Amino acid sequence: MPAGAAHRTRKATIVMDGKANAIRDRISTVQNTKKITMAMKLVAAAKVRRAQDAVLATRPFSETLQSVFGGLVDRMGGDTADIPLLTQREVKKVTICCITGDRGLCGGYNSFMIKKAEARYNELVAAGIEVDMVLIGKKGISYFERRNFPIRKTFECGQNPTSKEALQISEELLNTYLSGETDTIELLYTKFVSLIASAPAVRTLVPFSASEISEKGDEVFQLTSSSGDFEVERTELDAAEPQDFPNDMIFEQDPTQIVNSILPLYLNGQILRTLQESVASELAARMQSMQAASDNAGALAKDLSMQYNRARQAAVTQEILEIVSGASALE
């Protein structure tokens, strides 16, 4: 057989799990995947900045509301017995409000929150307390609906929570509590700690505590990119000072009525804030997941490159051996 014909009919050497050209195609696929995951990480980082700006934008209103509430409570002498949202009841029924995400690809963010809500539900039921649920986020809704949990209401919330969405949720919770259908409302959300850590948190949303509203401080976060790496700086903020109302100031309405009007606004602000914090936690978890995926893709591409080089070397060696053998046969 002529040497040219032998070269045309010769097949590529198979090494490990495929041919050299198949390995080359797989390397290209892995590299494209890495580009996608890195792009998703950067998109999530941009959205974290947007969530940060939204939190900062709500601060002036929250501080003013806290200041006015503190001043009114001081003016009333701490007597809040006539304010339903500040009155403690005997707990016979609890409504759990659980915030999860609408999308996946964010590590254990959704599963941690779902497990926390399910454990709290089982704990309350074991104590003989009736429980129903208000669910926010598609992941939590699909999980609890498939398992036939008692669900009162569901809401879908995207990655840019608005005051309108928070108002719909707060109205549902207020109507449930004021109508006597539940005795307390617990909020389960993910507290944003840092880009690499978040913590499922539980707090009693309603009834409120007057001292907590007037004395509780706040904290804001800011995404930075020092040394080329994303980091979060947290700033602790003191509680707003109670507004000083002079003793001779005359209110057109009774201070009790004003407080009753302020508390729904406060509830709306708290829900909006927890939605924003949960979204920030979800985005941070997605950033970490996409970074891990990018690192894994890089490591896999490196391993595949080594396999590809071995395959090429084996093919070249085989060709040299065949040429030498052919030359020896012609002598």
- Nearest CA-CA partner of 293 in 27, 25, 102, 107: 107
Q: Which two tokens stand for residue 77?
A: 């002498």
Q: Are 252 and 243 in contact (CB under 8 A)?
A: no
Query: Alpha helices, DSSP H only, in the chain?
Result: 3-9, 20-75, 109-126, 138-146, 163-178, 210-215, 255-330
Q: Which two tokens stand for residue 56?
A: 């900062």
Burial class (CB in 10 A: 0-12, 13-18, 19+), 311: buried
Distance of CA 58 to CAs 2, 51, 103, 141, Å?
82, 11, 25, 28
Amino acid identity, position 317 = T
Distance of CA 182 to CAs 86, 94, 166, 207, 309, Å?
14, 6, 20, 11, 68
Coil, helix or strand at residue 130 = strand
Q: Are 284 and 194 in contact (CB under 8 A)?
A: yes
Q: Which two tokens stand for residue 33?
A: 């995947």
321-328: Cβ within 8 A, 24+ apart: 322/6, 322/10, 323/3, 326/3, 326/6
Burial class (CB in 10 A: 0-12, 13-18, 19+), 117: buried
- Count CB neighbours of 210 within 10 A: 21
98 is catalytic: no
- Nearest CA-CA partner of 114 in 145, 87, 91, 84: 145
Name the catalytic one among 97, 98, 106, 157: 106
Active site residue ranges? 106
